[in-house]
Amino acid sequence: MTTIIKADFTRQKKNRQAGSEVRPAPVYQLKISLAFSNPLIWRRIQVPGDITLTRLHVILQLCMGWSDLHTHRFLIGKVFYAPSENSGIWAKTGERCESEYTLVALENDMKWCFTYIYDFGDGWEHEIELEESLPAGKGGSHPVLLHGEQACPPENVGGIPGYEEFLNIINNPHHQHHQRIAAWYGDDRFDPEYFDMAAINKGLKRL
């Protein structure tokens, strides 16, 4: 006689679902470096892994010192991620909507290539390195700036070459173009080494 064994597949399904619960996202430590800057302009931050690229864009703007006056893109792995207002060209360019992707979903691609491009005219290219992935709870509940060096260049200064020329002129009152550049910038001095980490962290807490 054949013995029929009744299995409780419902219980197995419930067990699989319980075992596949979404784990808390890690905290990522990122180093952001402004490409081709010398001395290197860089920031080290920690951010929750469940934030979207849109949120990361806001954090990068604040930490670097930009004013969010221009367009931007992320290049992660082999894919470009763009703001939602550019959805009309996604089908043509292959770009994806940055607001639909979190860091944790892109972790593997971030390890291979992670670039943030701001202001296509000046061409500010930020190289982002995933330095560490910390277990949830090990980092803060909000983004934090850990360290960094050098001031952010002024907006619309003309990329790295323009910034180098700007520094040569703005801090030299005897330069023939000093007054013109000072009027454009709104000050007659610029400290390339200064950035206010405390003020930035206060801003991050308000996000």
Full pLDDT tens readout for the chain, 207 residues: 444 434 443 433 333 344 446 678 899 999 999 999 999 999 999 999 999 999 999 999 999 999 999 999 999 999 999 998 655 555 566 799 999 999 999 999 999 999 999 999 999 999 999 999 998 877 666 899 999 999 999 999 999 999 999 999 999 999 999 999 999 999 999 999 999 999 999 999 998
What pLDDT is stored for residue 168 in this prediction? 97
Cβ neighbours for 3, distance < 8 A, ≥ 6 positions apart: none
Q: Which of 136, 132, 95, 139 is nearest to 117 (CA)?
A: 95
What pLDDT is stored for residue 18 in this prediction? 42
Sorted by where each begins, the domain ranges of the chain are 24-151+193-206, 153-190
What pLDDT is stored for residue 137 in this prediction? 74
Contact 58, 207 (CB under 8 A): yes
Half-sphere exposure of 109 (CA within 13 A, CB side): 16
What pLDDT is stored for residue 165 in this prediction? 98
The pairing of strands 124-134 and 27-34 is antiparallel
Q: Which of 177, 179, 149 is nearest to 162 (CA)?
A: 177
CA distances 119 to 66, 90, 122, 151, Å, are: 10, 19, 6, 17
Distance CA 100, CA 65 (A): 25
- Residue 99 burial by Cβ neighbours in a 10 Å radius (0-12, 13-18, 19+): middle
Domain 24-151+193-206 fold: 3.10.290
Phi, psi (5° rounding) for residue 19? -75, -15
What pLDDT is stored for residue 90 in this prediction? 55
Q: Whole-angstrom distance between the N-terminal and C-terminal Cα of the chain?
A: 70
Phi-psi region of 125 (alpha: psi -120 to 50; beta: other; left: phi over 0): beta
